[in-house]
């Protein structure tokens, strides 16, 4: 079952990505974040889950519109 999550890249950009339950336990895990291509700057960045409680409605809506194209680790 796929879920979408809002994440923040190392540069601070917010976007959404598809997550897969139990994927966190794989060997491709890189510390607390995951290597994802940021749709705003186009670079591979370490990204972590964003705390949705700290985001405004406009920030959440924009992040859900910007979806990462690649999920790498």
Question: For 33-70, how does the pLDDT look when each residue is reduced to its tens digit (9 = 90+)?
Answer: 788 889 998 898 888 889 989 999 999 999 999 988 65
Phi/psi for 5 (5° steps) reads -130, 150
pLDDT recorded at residue 72: 53
Do residues 58 and 65 make contact, with C-beta atoms less than 8 angstroms apart?
no
Residue 20: pLDDT band with limits 50, 70, 90: very low
- pLDDT tens per residue across span 33-43: 788 889 998 89
């Amino acid at each position: 079952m796929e879920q979408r999550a809002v994440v923040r890249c190392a540069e601070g950009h917010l976007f959404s990505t598809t997550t897969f339950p139990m994927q966190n336990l794989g060997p491709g895990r890189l510390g607390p974040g995951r290597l994802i291509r940021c749709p705003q700057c186009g670079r591979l960045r370490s990204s972590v889950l964003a705390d949705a409680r700290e985001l405004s409605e406009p920030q959440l809506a924009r992040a859900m519109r910007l979806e990462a194209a690649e999920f790498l680790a």
